[in-house]
Copies of this chain bind each other. A is one copy, B any other.
Amino acid sequence: MKYIDGGVCAAQGFMAGGVACGIKKSGKLDLALVYSEVPAQAAAVFTTNRVKAAPVQLSMKHIKSGIAQAIIANSGNANACVGPQGDAAALAMCQAAAEYLKVPVESVLVASTGVIGVQLPVEKIEDTLKKTPGIVSRGGNLSAAQAIMTTDTFKKEAAVEIELAGSVVRIGGMAKGSGMIHPNMATMLGFVTTDAAIDQALLQQAVKRAADISFNRVTVDGDTSTNDSLFVLANGKAGNTKICAEGPEYDAFCAGLEAVCLELAKMLARDGEGATKLVEIRVEGANSEAAAVQVGKTIATSSLVKTAIFGEDANWGRILAAAGYSGVAIQPELVDIYLGDLLVCSGGTGLVFDEEKAKAILSKKEITIIVKLGQGNASAAVWTCDLTYDYVKINGSYRT
C-alpha cells in the first residue's frame, strides 16, 4: 500500500470541485461537488442521532439503489431542524447537481454541515450552479475539500494505491470535522472515492467496518451530530476483476479503505475545535474489543483528561477515574497506565515518576496514552484532542 495525493480525485474517473455560493458570509468556498464519469457502486453510513438533518434523510433514500454518481455538499448551514422546507431544499440541491452534471437525480447524494435550525438559502446554490461552468475537474479535489470546511483549520484529504491481482486500484477521500464530533456510524462528513470494481453488498460491509475502526473511534467533544454521513463511491475504472466475494483481494481493498478512513479520522481529532494536540489512547488487555473501545472513548471524552493534556499536567488519576466509570468492569488493581513510554501508574497505584520527563512527553503535539487493563487479550485505539480556551471561545459564539 502506498499513500498518494489527490484526495477524492485520486481514483480514476472521478472529478470534483468547490465554489462559493454566498452561504458563508465570509465569501469562502461553501459548495462541493464530486462526480464519477460512470455510475458507481455506492455505500454509506449515517448518524445514529434520532434528529437527522434533511440531507441525511434524502441520502438514505437515494443510497437504497446501491448506485450513485455524484455528491453535492454545502458548508455554512446544516439544513437540520427546519421542517418541510429543509426536505425541499435537500431535494433542490440534488436536482441542481443532477442538471449540472447530467445524471439522474436519484444518483446524487447530498450532505450539509454548519449551523442547525436556520433555513438553507438553496436558491444561492441553484443560481451559482446555473452561472458557473467547469466546477468539477480532475484536480478539483483541493477546492472540494476546502468547500466542506466550517471551523476546520486545514483540509482533510487522504489517498492510497493498492494492487489487486495486477490491477492498480486507488482509494481516496476527504472529510470535515471540528466540533460536534463524536461519530456514531460516521463522521460529520466523509466522502471516499475508489476506482475499484466491487460488489455493492461487499462495499457496504467494508464501509461499515472501516467507519467502526476509524471515524467511530474519534471524539472531539462527545456530541454526536445530526448530519454525520460517510459516502463511498466505487466506479470500477481501475479495471480490476470485480471483487464479488471475501478473500485476499477483498481484504486488501478493506485495508486500503481503512487506511484512508483512519488518516481522515485522525485529522478530525487533530483539528478538533481549539485543539493543540492529537491524543491517541490505546487500551490493551481488555476482555473484548468492544470493552477496549468503551474504556478508550470514555477516557477520550473526559473533560478533565482533555484539560489536563492541554495544561501538560500528568494527572493520570483522571485517566484511571474515567476508566472506572466507563461501564466496563475493570479491576483497578490490575491497571497500568503509560504516558508515552513512561509508566506512571502500576496495579492501580501511582508511582513516583520523573515529572520533567512527563512534562516533556505531554508538551509534544502528538501524545500516546496506553492503558493496560490486565484482563484479556483484546485492544483498541481511539483518538481525541485536548480541551482548550479556544474550544470555549469558538463554541461560545458559533452562531454570531
Contact = CB atoms under 8 A, between A and B. Distances in A.
B49 A321 contact: yes
A251 B329 CA distance: 36
Interface stretch (A7-15, A34-42, A262-270, A310-318): A310-318
A238 interface: no
A110 to B, nearest CB: 19
B392 A304 contact: no
How many copies are assembled? 2
A116 B391 contact: no
A117 B396 contact: no
B81 A222 contact: no
Contact of A332 (B81, B184, B302): B81
Given A303-B391, A332-B50, A321 B223 contact: yes
B307 A395 contact: yes
Interface stretch (A24-32, A90-98, A341-349, A363-371): A341-349
Nearest to A83: B349
A118 interface: yes
A119 to B, nearest CB: 8
A48 interface: yes
B304 A180 contact: yes
Give chain A's interface secondary structure class: loop
Interface in A310-358: 310-311, 313-318, 320-325, 328-332, 345, 347-350
Contacts of A50: 323-325, 328-332
A80 interface: yes
Contact of A350 (B118, B323, B391, B393): B118
Contacts of A315: 115-116, 398-399
A325 B224 contact: yes
Nearest to A388: B392
Interface in A268-320: 301-304, 307-308, 310-311, 313-318, 320
A117 to B, nearest CB: 3
A113 interface: no
Nearest to A184: B325
A81 B308 contact: no
A310 B397 CA distance: 9
A340 B308 CA distance: 34
B221 A317 contact: no
Interface string A59-91: 000000000000000000010111100000000
Given A83-B349, A225-B321, A318-B223, A308 B398 contact: yes
A179 interface: yes
A400 interface: yes
B81 A345 contact: yes
A226 interface: yes
A226 B324 contact: yes
A321 B51 contact: yes
A387 interface: yes
Contact of A304 (B78, B316, B347, B395): B395
A197 B188 CA distance: 57
A114 to B, nearest CB: 10
17 contacts: A49-B321, A50-B325, A51-B320, A83-B348, A116-B350, A222-B222, A224-B321, A225-B321, A226-B320, A308-B396, A308-B398, A310-B392, A310-B396, A311-B395, A311-B400, A313-B396, A387-B392
Given A116-B321, A180-B321, 16 more contacts: A49-B321, A50-B332, A51-B332, A80-B317, A83-B348, A116-B315, A180-B304, A222-B302, A223-B322, A224-B325, A303-B387, A308-B396, A311-B397, A311-B398, A388-B392, A389-B389
